[in-house]
């Protein structure tokens, strides 16, 4: 969910917008994504219990900044803002997708021991495709979802 006129006047939204939701359904959808992501992290053999928190802490400002740049450069709306955790969920989706395909031993110097897994790779491809289809059904911020996904891809490369 997005609206205009906030980001430059209220820069704290770069960090807090992911914590605010449009309604209970929006919150429950995001919580469902968190539960699925946690299960997939475990299926990949995650050894770092705080990886999800670390990714979230990095994805919130990173995806918000990417979104702001997109809105400023492409659509000339530098004050755009969003609400909800969906962009972070899409970032975690991207990180998990690449982890399932390639595996990942460390993340910013921290051992995380994620193993490549063909079954999980297929699951993540299905989840990613369904998420991308969901973007175009309407009622969601495509820009927030896509910038979150790009942020997750970039964080995987760290």
CA distances from 123 to 16, 112, 126, 128, 157 (A): 30, 20, 5, 9, 21
Give 62-107 pLDDT, tens digit per residue. 888 788 777 777 766 655 656 667 788 889 999 999 999 999 999 9
pLDDT tops 70 at residue 13 = no
* pLDDT at residue 145, as a whole number: 82
Q: Which two tokens stand for residue 85?
A: 């955790």
Return d(Cα 92, Cα 34) in angstroms, integer.
9
All residues at 6 or more sequence positions from 79 whose CB lies less than 8 Å from its CB, including other chains: 4, 5, 6, 7, 8, 9, 71
CB 21 within 8 A of CB 28: no
Report the pLDDT averaged over residues 40-50. 85
Mean pLDDT of the chain: 80
């Amino acid at each position: 969910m997005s609206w205009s006129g906030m980001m430059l006047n209220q820069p704290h939204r770069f960090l807090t917008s992911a914590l605010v939701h449009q309604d209970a359904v929006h919150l429950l959808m995001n919580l469902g994504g968190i539960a699925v992501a946690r299960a997939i992290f475990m299926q990949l053999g995650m050894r770092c219990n705080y990886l999800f928190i670390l990714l979230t802490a990095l994805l919130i400002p990173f995806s918000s900044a990417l979104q702001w740049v997109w809105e400023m450069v492409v659509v000339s709306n530098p004050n755009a803002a969003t609400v909800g955790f969906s962009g972070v969920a899409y970032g975690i989706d991207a990180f998990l997708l690449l982890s399932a395909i390639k595996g990942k031993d460390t993340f910013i110097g921290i051992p995380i021991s994620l193993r490549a897994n063909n079954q999980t790779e297929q699951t993540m491809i299905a989840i990613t495709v369904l998420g991308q289809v969901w973007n175009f059904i309407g009622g969601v911020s495509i820009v927030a979802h896509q910038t979150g996904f790009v942020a997750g891809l970039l964080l995987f490369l760290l």
